[in-house]
Amino acid sequence: MSNEIEAIKDPGLPAHVHRAADTDPVAEKRVERQVAILFAVSAIGTLLLIYSYIFVPQDLFIFVPVMGDQNAHQLGLGLGMAISLFFIGLGAIQWARTLMPDTEVIAHRHEFRSPDDEREDFVKTVKERAGTVGLGRRSLIKKSLGAALGLSALSPLLLLRDLGPVPAKELEKTSWKTGTRLVTDPGNRPILASDLEVGAVAQVLPAVAEGTERALSDIGKDAVLLIRLRPEDFQLTPEKYAMTHDGIIAFSKICSHMGCAVALYEQQTKHLLCPCHQSTFDVTRGAKVIFGPAARPLPQLDITVDSEGYLIARAPFSEPVGPSFWERNSQ
């Protein structure tokens, strides 16, 4: 016994009452089995959850007395989870109440950090007491607890499936293709290069066939901002400049930080501003980030005009649009 913890000899308290399992080996075995059964029921609950998730159809309804018609899939998930957690807790309580050492002690309190030798003494005592809990000896409890804990840890993995497919590749693709016309949003009307005056800004989308409904997710990925400057305003590399048309430049509207819509254009400074965290992009320098948390410029769409003078995409986006965490290959 350490200096800090002493067994109570005669503190004026009622005499300590020993539990049956402390004095009777038969009773000890009995409660050990009880604890193991509780952990086993917990494991059955987890198996029920897994079975319901994988094998019970989501549209199957069954009649349950008092509750009426119930969705069997959800009922199985809920019951399985409840049984799993409830019985693992019950087993732990029963184990602590009936089998773990119940020596009554006095623990002296110190207000400040204990001296090092006392701390070492404490660690030693804890190690000794960990041995006396008897986990090494009680292999039945150890195995059933291990099975129950292991299975209950599996259930969150199943729920990961509900998050849907891994999005990386899907988010890299937009509807822009070589030759796709840029159209007004709303309106779906093609845009003549001459429609845009210097200083103008417009949100555009890729053209879709008449009567075709756009998916909302496509609008988010495909939205492009079209801005017209004087060609001499640009400070672009030759490759980036070749992607513009007569002073018109096009960028993805999705912020490269967290995916908000970059919605504000400052005509004087020629800056695009994301309202979410104030990332600021310089249009004249290819939407280079000049302020804020965004880590890369807005992707630029390569544009030109077709034989009728309408603006079209010369090529799809050459890099993924959207937040940097959607993909891992671009800087």
Shortest approach of ligand FES to residue 220 CB, angstroms? 13
What is the layout of strands, in order, in the sheet containing 248-252?
182-184, 201-206, 224-228, 248-252, 300-301
Residue 124 makes CB contacts below 8 A (sequence gap 6+) with 2
Shortest approach of ligand FES to residue 260 CB, angstroms? 4
Segment lying near ligand FES (by CB under 6 A), choices 3-11, 57-65, 100-108, 276-284: 276-284
Instruction: Find, among 242, 246, 38, 74, the residue nearest to 147 by Cα.
Output: 38
- Around Cβ 16, how many Cβ atoms within 10 Å? 11
Shortest approach of ligand FES to residue 255 CB, angstroms? 3
Q: How far is CA 184 from the centre of its chain?
A: 35
Cα–Cα distance, 285 to 318 (Å, whole number): 18
Backbone angles phi, psi at 264, to 5 degrees: -110, 130
Q: Which of 43, 224, 257, 313 binds ligand FES (CB under 6 A)?
A: 257
Binding residues with ligand FES: total (CB under 6 A): 11
Q: How far is CA 4 from the centre of its chain?
A: 45
Shortest approach of ligand FES to residue 37 CB, angstroms? 54
Torsion from C-alpha of 197, 201, 203, 208, nearest 10 degrees: 20
Shortest approach of ligand FES to residue 322 CB, angstroms? 10
Segment lying near ligand FES (by CB under 6 A), choices 55-63, 133-141, 235-243, 253-261: 253-261
Nearer to ligand FES, 134 or 292 (CB): 292
Q: How far is CA 14 from the centre of its chain?
A: 54
Q: Does 223 bind ligand FES (CB under 6 A)?
A: no
Nearer to ligand FES, 139 or 331 (CB): 331
Shortest approach of ligand FES to residue 326 CB, angstroms? 12
Helix (H) or strand (E) holding 300: strand 300-301
Nearer to ligand FES, 99 or 273 (CB): 273
Segment lying near ligand FES (by CB under 6 A), choices 21-29, 199-207, 214-222, 255-263: 255-263
Nearer to ligand FES, 80 or 259 (CB): 259
CB 287 within 8 A of CB 274: no
Q: Which of 258, 263, 295, 315 binds ligand FES (CB under 6 A)?
A: 258
The pair of structure tokens assigned to 246 is 């007569």
Would strands 5-7 and 105-107 be described as parallel, antiparallel, or unpaired? antiparallel
CB burial class (10 A; 0-12, 13-18, 19+) of residue 302?
A: buried
Q: Does 280 bind ligand FES (CB under 6 A)?
A: no
CB burial class (10 A; 0-12, 13-18, 19+) of residue 140?
A: middle
Q: Does 260 bind ligand FES (CB under 6 A)?
A: yes
Q: Does 292 bind ligand FES (CB under 6 A)?
A: yes
Q: Does 220 bind ligand FES (CB under 6 A)?
A: no
Q: Does 279 bind ligand FES (CB under 6 A)?
A: yes
Site residues for ligand FES, window 80-139 (CB under 6 A)?
none
Q: Does 261 bind ligand FES (CB under 6 A)?
A: no
By the criterion CB under 6 A, which residues form the site for ligand FES?
Answer: 255, 257-258, 260, 274, 276-277, 279, 292-294
